[in-house]
Amino acid sequence: MNALATSLQTYFTTFAHAQRDLSANTIASYRDTWRMLLKYLTATLETPTDGLDFDAVTAANVTGFLDHLEHERGNNAKTRNTRLTAIRSVLGRALPDHPEHAGTITQVLAIPPRRTVRPAIEFLTPAEVDALLAAPDRHAWTGRRDHALLVMAVQTGLRISEICSLTYDDIHLGTGPNIACTGKGRRQRITPLTKTTVTAMNVYLPERRTRPGVALFCGPHGQPLSRDAIEHRLTKHLSTAAITCPGIAGKHVTMHTLRHTAAMNLLTAGVDVSVIALWLGHSDTHSTDAYLHADMAIKQAAIDRTRPPGVSPGTYQPEPTILAWLTSL
């Protein structure tokens, strides 16, 4: 076994779990990146995979791999940067143990990420939220389950991975109702529940307890709903909601859009950005600042505060005719 293979085994069996405590999703993403990289190098260099060592993982070859992802596999710049992070993470850990390959590894670590443009945050209006929550057929159990799930998602802003991992023990509907979860970076947080959410959960939970398993939102046999299953159910209900609320059809709505909606509702209610960051489980407010840019009402209020004393607040409206305007000068 060569040095590269040994470093990969050490990273994924020991370092990622014991020292970095990376999440299962992160480890899977890093693993898949290296599988694709090794396959690319095998095909490009015409060398057996077991024969690849650090001297094959050069800056030129890694850049070629990243270009391959972008141009041939259709990955966007964000995905390209994620793959580069996975490669650099393993090589950065291997560098102290293999100084003989320091030149090659250092050049790869110096590859800059591709600059990206952050897209505008998309969220649902109150009317669109009402249409979505009314979409599930509550005459069926799956409809009642989906309604409870959507109500909780819109109110709490939980990530889809957090929703998938919820169990009975995580929800408390007594005094001070709340939902507990473990989010990104193993950060645990408790989110309060509103009366609307508590009412929906009180309707759903008694029926849920008649089914096997401990997952809060489960499939037919009690198993936790997968990410794909939840997104599939959301797409189905969006189609129904679009019948009564056509505006929702023009938006690309995912479960993360519901998380954005929860944040925007808090911001509109006057909640401080630092509190919203805690609510969403952000490590700092930099991620939450994006919601300030998305809220046009906040920008309009800022403009109104900076108007000269003699100018009436509101959007400028031109005079009905240019002659009347010229006469008023």
Nearest to 174 by CA among 203, 202, 213, 152: 202
> Per-residue pLDDT for 3 more than 70?
yes
**pLDDT tens per residue, range 208-224:** 988 899 999 998 888 99
| Residue given tokens 């992070």 in the structure block | 85
**Cα–Cα distance for residue pair 51/41, rounded to 1 Å:** 11
Is-contact 84 113, C-beta < 8 A? yes
Domain at 126-297, CATH homologous superfamily: Intergrase catalytic core (1.10.443.10)
Residue 257: name the closest of 122, 153, 87, 139 by CA: 122
pLDDT value at residue 326: 75
8 A C-beta contact, residue 256 and residue 119: no
Catalytic residue annotation: 159, 184, 256, 259, 282, 291
Mean pLDDT computed over 102-122: 87
Whole-angstrom Cα distance, residue 243 to residue 104? 58
Sign of CA dihedral 96, 102, 105, 107: positive
Tell me, yes or no, if the pTM score tops 0.75.
no
Could you read off the pLDDT of 191-214 as tens digits, one per residue? 999 999 999 999 999 999 888 999
* Percentage of residues in the chain having pLDDT higher than 70: 90
Task: Output phi, psi for 253, to 5 deg.
Answer: -105, 125
Residues 77 and 117: their CA atoms lie apart, in Å, by 9
pLDDT digits (tens, 9 = 90+) for 54-108: 999 999 999 999 999 999 999 999 999 999 999 999 999 999 999 999 999 999 9
Distance, in Å, from the CA atom of 271 to the CA atom of 64, rounded to the nearest integer, reads: 46
**Band of pLDDT at residue 301, cut at 50, 70 and 90:** low
Amino acid 23: pLDDT: 78
Q: Can you tell me the distance from the alpha carbon of 227 to that of 235, in angstroms, rounded to the nearest whole number?
A: 12
Give the rounded distance of the alpha carbon of 285 from its chain centre: 16
